[in-house]
Amino acid sequence: MKLPNEVQAFLESKQFSKNTKANYLYDLRHLMAFFEDQELSDESLKLYKKSLGELSATAQRRKISSTNQYLSYLYQQKKIDSFFKMTQVAAAPSASNPRTVAEIQDFSSFYKPLTVTSPGHFLALVILEFGLNFSEIQQLRWEDFNWNFKVLTIEKSGIKRVLPIDDRFALMVKQINNADELFTKSRQFLYLELKKYTPITAKALREQYILRQVAEGKTIYELAQNLGLLTIYTLEKYYR
């Protein structure tokens, strides 16, 4: 069985940013080139994995993730008769490049009823739940939160991101009627209000969002899209 070339259809089925789509296209073109003279089978996928051996572990994991998503799409669309999945490469620790990524922390104490007198509490949850920085928060409008469909829509540099709203977060903030006044405040104001609520910085909270997304199985491309990043390089350390 030949590997069908449905790359464009696959990309069009995803709500990828322009940059994320380009990254997937690069990886899948590499895949299609390898299988130009190969039949699709478990054995040939092992050979493809072996051909990636000279790449960094991060690059290997990225290409394998792209391949698995594409193979899953082909199977769901009945373009191939069998379900194939490549095994990921192990994330080997490096003595010369020790892991400096933070660990996931317990923020259950943050999930208690909000009050209008503590905007810092709301800010902390927004960063923790959506990975936003202060400049992105300043661009928000209350109407961007769609409570019926449980999604937050963010537009930055012409790129639209649609992020799911967790039920727990929705329950927490349902008593807030409008946060537009807070969104118009200065960066310094947001910084001080967050500091009043918690000593944990906005950067650290954003990293916790990243760690949670990685733990939930988000690919590096999906995470970059959620964060509105134009490249994946700053995220590679979380996938080693």
Of these residues, 73, 209, 221, 238, which one is catalytic? 238
Q: Is 168 a catalytic residue?
A: no
Of these residues, 156, 160, 196, 237, which one is catalytic? 156
Distance, CA of 237 to CA of 34 (rounded, Å): 28
Of these residues, 14, 206, 212, 240, which one is catalytic? 206
Q: Is 238 a catalytic residue?
A: yes
Amino acid letter at 108?
S
Question: Which are the catalytic amino acids?
Answer: 156, 206, 238
